[in-house]
Structure 1
Amino acid sequence: MAGPYQTIRVDHEPALSWIVLDRPEAANALSPQLLDEFSDALDRLQSEGGPVIAIRGEGRGFCSGMDLGSYGASDTGPADPMADRNRLHDNVQRWLKMWDHPKPIITAVHGYCMAAAAQMCVFADITVVADDVRIGEPTIPIGGGFIAPAWVSLVGHKRAKEFAFVPGNSIDGPTAVTWGWANHCVPAADLIGAVRGLAVRIALTPSAVLRLKKLSINRAAEAGGFRQALSGIAEIDALLHLAPAVLEVRARMKEKGLKAVIQEFKVPPTTPLVAPKE
C-alpha cells in the first residue's frame, strides 16, 4: 500500500485490515489531510488487504470530531455558504464510501467519539464500543442538522432529537447498544480482540458472498430512506452557520476563548434522565 500516511496507519492481518486514526496528540481530530488519507486508504483497500476492514483510533479515544482549527471555526464573519455546503457534502460522500465499500467495515470505538466521528460510525456495517466510551454532540451549538439526522435510521427520530437538542449531549456504551447505534459493548481491554474475533468469523464467508450480502442489506436500508435522509443535511448545516445566533456565539468564542464558551453550554447528558438538584 502506498504511503507512508502521516495521519493514519494501515495495519494488515490475515482476516482484516485496520485503518488506525493516528493523531493522538490532536485527539485524532479529522483534519483535511486525515480525511484525504482516509479516503485514499478506503479506495486502496477495495483490492488490497484483508477481507474485512476495521477502523479504530490511536491513544485515549477514537476521534474528537472535526479539527476546528483547520476550518476557521474561530472566525466571526460568515463563510462562503456554497463553499461551506460543498465541504460538508464532501464529508458525507467520504462516509458513503464506507457504506458502498465492497468489504464489511467495523468501527471499534473507545474513549471518546465526538461530533463528526459519531456521524462516521453510522456508515460502518458494524460498530463495537468499549465500556469507557462517550459518544457526543458538539458542546457549542454553532452547527446543526448535520450529525443527528444520520442517526435516525438507527435510533429513531425521537432519540435522535433528544441527542441533538441538548448542547454537548452524550451517550455511553450500553446506551448506544440499547438505542441501536452500536452492536456490542465490551470491556475496553477486550475491544481489539473482540473486533478481531468477529472479523475472523466474518472472513469465513467468501468475499464475493459478503459483498452481495452487504449490497442487499444496504438496498433494504435505502428503501427505508437512509440515503434520502442525507440529501439535505449539508445545506441545512451551512445555512445555520450564517444564522445571527450562531455568529453571536462565534463572536463570544473569539472574545472569551473556546474553553470559556464550552463551560457556558456544559450540562449533564439527558441519558439517563434525572431531575436537576434544587
Structure 2
Amino acid sequence: MTNAPSKKYEHIYLEHKGSITWLVFNRPGQANSFSNELLDEFTDALECLKSEGAPVIGIRGEGRGFSAGYDIGQVGKANTTGQGSAPDPVADRERLSRNVARYIAMWEHPKPIIVAVHGYCIAGATQLCVYADITVVADDAKIGEPTIPIGGGYIAPLWTPLVGHKRAKELAFVPGNSIDGKTAVEWGWANHSVPSDQLVPAVESLAERIAKTPPEVLRIKKLSINRAAEAMGFREAGKHVAEMDALLHVAPSVLELKQKLGEYGLKEVMKDFRSDRTTPLVPSDDKQE
C-alpha cells in the first residue's frame, strides 16, 4: 500500500492522488519563479518521494503558469562576491552547477517523473522539463527563452539532444523566443499536447496506466533507457553549461544590461528586446509576385 507523503513545505506542496503524487510549485504571485528556497524544497521533496508517495511523480505549477524560471532578483545577488557588486564567476559557476544537479536527480530518480506544463514555462523552468521522463504540455503553453539576454549556454544546450542543434540555436538566438505546446511536441521536446483544461486529467490517466507496471520493472526500464540516451550524449550536453553561463555573466555587455536592470527595472528593459514574432516563423499572408 502506498504511503502518502506527510512532509510540509512553504514554496511547494505535495498532493497524493492514487497512482501519482503531485509536486506543485506554489509561488503563483511570483510566477512560480525558482527561488533558492523553492529549489531547496524541490530537492528535499524528490529525496522524500524515493520512499514515500505514489509509484509515479507529477510536477506542475499553481496559478497561471508552470514557472517563469529563476528568480532574477536572487540570481543577480548570487553573481556577486557579497562585497560591493564585483562579479564572482567561481561562486556563480557553483550555483549554476547545483541547479543542474537538481535536475539530474530527476533523471536518476527511481520513479517515473511526468511534468505537466500550462501557461508559461520559461528559461530555467525548461531545463527541469528536459530531465523529466515524460513531458505533457497544454496546447497554448508558451515555452522558451528569457526576454533579456543576460545568460547564455545554459538553457538551449540542454534542449539540443531533444530538438537538435539547429532548432536549439533558432530558439536561443532571438531574445524571448518561444514555441507553443503543439510545436514542442513536433520538435520532440514534449510527448503530448492537450487542451489546457485536460492537462492534469491526462497526466493522471497516464500515471494510472504506468503504475500497472511493477515498481522494480519501472526502475530498470527507466535506467536502461537512460543508459541508451547517455550513450548518445544526453548527459554530456549538461556538463559544461555552468561554465559557459558563468563566463557570459561577466561579459561587458551583460554587466551593462544588469546595470540597466538595476536602474530602470525589469519591465522597462524588456521593451528593448521584445519581438512580435516567435518561433516557428509564420508565413506571410501577402501574395507573392
**TM-score bin, normalised by smaller chain:** over 0.9
Q: Output aligned runs, 1:26-175, within 5 Å.
A: 26-72=30-76, 77-175=85-183
Residue 172 of structure 1 and its aligned partner are, at CA, apart by 0.3
Counterpart-to-counterpart distance in 2, 1:194 and 1:59: 18
Whether 1:266 aligns to 2:289 is no
TM-score by length of 1: 0.96
> In the alignment, residue 42 of structure 1 is paired with which amino acid?
L
1:205 equivalent among 169, 191, 213: 213
Counterpart-to-counterpart distance in 1, 2:259 and 2:213: 54
1:19 equivalent among 23, 36, 50: 23
Would you say how many aligned residue pairs link Structure 1 and Structure 2?
Answer: 277
Note if contact 1:78-1:247 (Cα within 8 Å) is conserved in structure 2: no
Structure 2: where are the runs of 5+ without partners? none
Whether 1:255 aligns to 2:263 is yes
Residue 139 of structure 1 and its aligned partner are, at CA, apart by 0.4
Note if contact 1:22-1:58 (Cα within 8 Å) is conserved in structure 2: yes
1:240 aligned partner: 248
How large is the RMSD of aligned CA atoms in angstroms?
Answer: 1.7
TM-score by length of 2: 0.92
Structure 1: where are the runs of 5+ without partners? none
Residue 224 of structure 1 and its aligned partner are, at CA, apart by 0.4
**Percent identity of the aligned residues?**
60
Helix, strand or coil at the partner of 1:71: helix
Residue 276 of structure 1 and its aligned partner are, at CA, apart by 11
Note if contact 1:78-1:241 (Cα within 8 Å) is conserved in structure 2: no
Helix, strand or coil at the partner of 1:135: strand
Counterpart-to-counterpart distance in 2, 1:2 and 1:230: 33
Counterpart-to-counterpart distance in 2, 1:163 and 1:72: 23
Residue 270 of structure 1 and its aligned partner are, at CA, apart by 2.9
Residue 78 of structure 1 and its aligned partner are, at CA, apart by 4.1
1:176 aligned partner: 184
